C-alpha cells in the first residue's frame, strides 16, 4: 500500500501544474565563472544541455528588457528537454544576433525536435541582423512555433552565433488513459480503506 501511494505521488509530481505553461526567462543571475562553455542549465522544469553561455544583459549584447539570456558562439549547440522526462510543446521564443560584433548579419536558426512518434519536425527563424545592445530598443524578435512542435521528447538547436530569451514551453498532460488508470488506483485504495475500517469496527 505504501509503495502504491508513493507511485501515485510520483505520477502527480510528473504532471505538476507549474509546468503546464512556463516561460524560461534565463533571468536568474548568470554564474560569473561559468558563463562560457556551460553544459547544462535548468529553469521552471525545463532542462538545457550542450555547449552555450548564460549571460547578463550588458553593453554589446542584444537587449530584451530583462536581466539574462542564453547565447551560442562558434560550434555551440543546445538540447531542450523537460527535467521530468515528460512530453512538451514549444509555443514561442525571442531570438537575436550574438552581439554587436555581428550586427548586420542576420541569423537563420533551426529548431529540430523529435515527437513521441519518432517524427522529426523542424522550423527555422531568421533574425533581422540589427543589434545595438542596451539603449535604443529591444534587439530581440519574437517568433511563434508551428503546431507541429507538440508532443516533443526533445528539441535540438545546432545553429551558432545567436541569443535566445523567453522560451515558452508547455508540458503535455497525461493522456486520458493514464488519468483513468490513476483514478482506478485511487478508487482501489479508497475501497480498501473502507473495507479495513468496517472490519476493525466489528
The domain limits of the chain are: 1-18+174-202, 21-172
Task: Check residue 8 and give its pLDDT.
Answer: 46
Task: Check residue 132 and give its pLDDT.
Answer: 85
E strand spans, the chain: 22-24, 38-43, 46-56, 68-72, 77-82, 88-97, 108-115, 120-126, 141-144, 152-157, 162-171
197 versus 98: the higher-pLDDT residue is 98
Task: Say if residue 199's pLDDT is above 60.
Answer: no
Task: Check residue 20 and give its pLDDT.
Answer: 62
Architecture of domain 21-172: Sandwich (2.60)
Query: Global pTM?
Result: 0.76
192 versus 98: the higher-pLDDT residue is 98
Distance between start and end Cα atoms, the chain: 23
**What is the bridge-based pairing of β-strands 88-97 and 77-82?**
unpaired
Amino acid at each position: 500500500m505504501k509503495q502504491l501511494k508513493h507511485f501515485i505521488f510520483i505520477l502527480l509530481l510528473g504532471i505538476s501544474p507549474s509546468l503546464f505553461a512556463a516561460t524560461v526567462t534565463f533571468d536568474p543571475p548568470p554564474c560569473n565563472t561559468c558563463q562560457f562553455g556551460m553544459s547544462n542549465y535548468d529553469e521552471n522544469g525545463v532542462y538545457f544541455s550542450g555547449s552555450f553561455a548564460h549571460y547578463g544583459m550588458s553593453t554589446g549584447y542584444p537587449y530584451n528588457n530583462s536581466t539574462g539570456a542564453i547565447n551560442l558562439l562558434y560550434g555551440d549547440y543546445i538540447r531542450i528537454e523537460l527535467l521530468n522526462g515528460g512530453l512538451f510543446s514549444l509555443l514561442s521564443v525571442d531570438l537575436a544576433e550574438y552581439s554587436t560584433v555581428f550586427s548586420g548579419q542576420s541569423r537563420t536558426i533551426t529548431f529540430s525536435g523529435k515527437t513521441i512518434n519518432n517524427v522529426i519536425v523542424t522550423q527555422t527563424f531568421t533574425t533581422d541582423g540589427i543589434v545595438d545592445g542596451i539603449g535604443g530598443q529591444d534587439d530581440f524578435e519574437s517568433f511563434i512555433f508551428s503546431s507541429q512542435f507538440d508532443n516533443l521528447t526533445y528539441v535540438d538547436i545546432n545553429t551558432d552565433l545567436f541569443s535566445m530569451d523567453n522560451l515558452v514551453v508547455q508540458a503535455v498532460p497525461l493522456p486520458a488513459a493514464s488519468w483513468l488508470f490513476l483514478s482506478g488506483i485511487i478508487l482501489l485504495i479508497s475501497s480498501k480503506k473502507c473495507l479495513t475500517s468496517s472490519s476493525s469496527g466489528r
